[in-house]
Each structure stands twice: as C-alpha cells, then as structure tokens.
Structure 1
Amino acid sequence: MSKNTVLALVGSLRADSTNRKLAEAIQLNAPEDLDVVIHESLGSLPFYNEDIDVEGQVPAAAAALRAAANEADALLLVTPEHNGTMPASLKNAIDWLSRPYGAGALTGKPTAVVGTAFGQFGGIWAQDEARKAVGIAGARVLEEVRLAVPGSMVRFAETHPKDDAEVVEQIKGIFSALAAAEKAEAAA
C-alpha cells in the first residue's frame, strides 16, 4: 500500500515559528498511510514575475516548489497572520503554483489551510485570505478542514504544539476531515 503525500507550505520563514512547530506536530501525528512533507524553500522563491517565469529558465526554487506540489496528493497551507492577512511568502508561493494559468500545480489539487497566530482568533483572517487566493488559483479548497489556534506566542512559549493535548486532538480532526473529503470525492 503506497502512502499519500501532503505537501505542507509554512507561511512563516522564522526559524522558531509557531506555525512551523504546528506543521511539525501535524507531520508527527499523521496516520501511517499519509506522509506530510514540509517544503523548506519558500524563503528562496523570488517574487513572482512573468518575465522570469519562462520555460527552461524558471528559477530553481520555483521549479522545485512546482515539482513538489505536482507530486503531492494534497496541499496543506500553514499560515500565521501578518497585519490581518497571510504573509507575502505564502501568497508568493500560491502565485508561482498558479502558473501556467489553468494548468498550474494547484489546478484541482485538494488544499487545506490551518494555522496559529498571536491574536484571540488564531489567524482566521489570514486563513480565509489564503483559502480565497488558493481557490481563485485553481485549487480544490477543503473548507471543512480547519484549525485556528489563538494565543500562539503565549501558548507555545514553553510547549511545542506536539505536546499540547488539545492541539493534537484538533490535528486528528484535520486528518478525519481530509479522509471524509477524500471519501466524498471518490463517491462523486
């Protein structure tokens, strides 16, 4: 039995990011038949520009991101909230993955958005913006897969999300929702 792969894109580039830690907790709690791979090079992506998105000349970081997304069965965007929206690094990744228009790596790709933020709502504005952008870019947004953990800087100051029982239980809910979405698609 082969494993399905979920490619996780973490919007925060900070080494000690709580969203990076959340992605690690998701990776550690994945069911045996699912491989969650955290993509490491969003900070290396140049800002999207059609002038450099030329066949045979696509920057290496963009080509690697596209290849990883094409190989994945689904995407998981893990986003903090920067000034009420998603960070530029995540939006830039969405832009690269949306091209070529109508045939980009996002086209029809099951995609979920989760995250944690310092505020009392856990970054839901950023998550909503990411769902909107990735949906417009052609992904099949899994609206039922949600996780917004508030108070990240305090909550995870001394505890990694993998050691927070409530967060781990919510992560298990993510996988249940992903499985339900997969079943619904197979039945359709």
Structure 2
Amino acid sequence: MHPIEQKLKDEICPYLVTARRLNRWGPYWVYLGYSYLGELFVLLAGLGISNPIMSFLSDGQVKLESKDGTLITVVQFLNDPWAGGIALALLVMWALVKVYIRNENLAKRCSLLRSCQRQCIHLENQLMQLLPAPNPMKELINLQVKLGSLVEWNIVEESWRYGGPAPNINAQVNEYCSQLVSIFSAHWDQAPPNEQIEV
C-alpha cells in the first residue's frame, strides 16, 4: 500500500467520516427542536398569547400587558379540561427540556459541534486541493496536525462525543479512502520499495 493511502486510511479519513456523523446525536436534535419551538413561543407571545409560565420559559424576554396594564393570560383557553391538560403537560415537558439543556450545557456543546463540522468540511476541502501533488505527504502531516488539534479540543469540550473516531465506521472509511485513491493516486510519485506498506 502506498504510504499516502495508508496515512489517509489510518489517520485522516476516520476523523473526517466521524465529523459527518456528529449530528446523529439525540441531544443535538432535542436542542434543535427546543431552539425552534422557542421561536414559536415568542411568536405566540407576539400574537398576545402569553402568561407568567411562558414568560419564565422564554427567560423573561417576553412580557406583554393589556391596555389596562394587567398581564395577558390564557385562562379562557385553559378552562377547557382537555385543552388545559394538554397545555399544562406541554409546559411541564418544555420546562423539563429547558432544565436538561441547561444542566447538560447543550447550547455550548451543540454550537461547538456545528462549528467543528464546518471546520472539518474546510479541512476536507484543503485535502482535495493538496492530494493532486506528486508527493503531498508533508502537507498531509500538517493537515493531520490541524485535524488532531480540532478533535482534541472538541473532545475536551464534549462536543466530539467519541474518544477518537466513531465505532463501526470501517466500511465508510474504506469507501471514502478508496474514492480518494482512485481519483488522485495517478498523480503521486511511486514510493520507494522500502516505503511500501504491506497489507
């Protein structure tokens, strides 16, 4: 096996493949749903549907009052047993999700996760630009260092949820590496026999 192919297969492709899977994480989608539903609550409040609980759940940012200065409520709506029960259940669920997101620091972790994915896409683009060179090993090592630092930082911040590459991705890594080799290997210098890696 060519040393460049071995470098890609063992030390670069596994992390780039893992980066694509970072958002396949339940808490990330919980936070995403919470973020969009938060905007919905703000919209409903803007239409005049607000009460102290909703104001609390939106961190006190939405406080609407009627013309006579009293707080607008949804008492009429809550008088319906079914509607009131459903509304209260949703509010309790919303409060529990809010507490969970705060305790797990999901806002920061999910923001870093998205940033990490974007940076990995940038590194992947750099990889595509350097691979056509006759001997890109030096540039590959530099890219590997950048990728390793990025992964290590995100592991510390708990936005990279694995201790390294994701488990059970050998098939995807081999497929990705094979694609790169089939596209770019014709540009590479032949490695000396003593540098060829047996597989």
Q: TM-score, normalised by structure 1?
A: 0.26
Q: TM-score, normalised by structure 2?
A: 0.25
Which has the larger Rg? 2
Greater per-residue helix proportion: 2
If asked which structure has higher relative contact order (CA below 8 Å, sep 6+), I would say 2
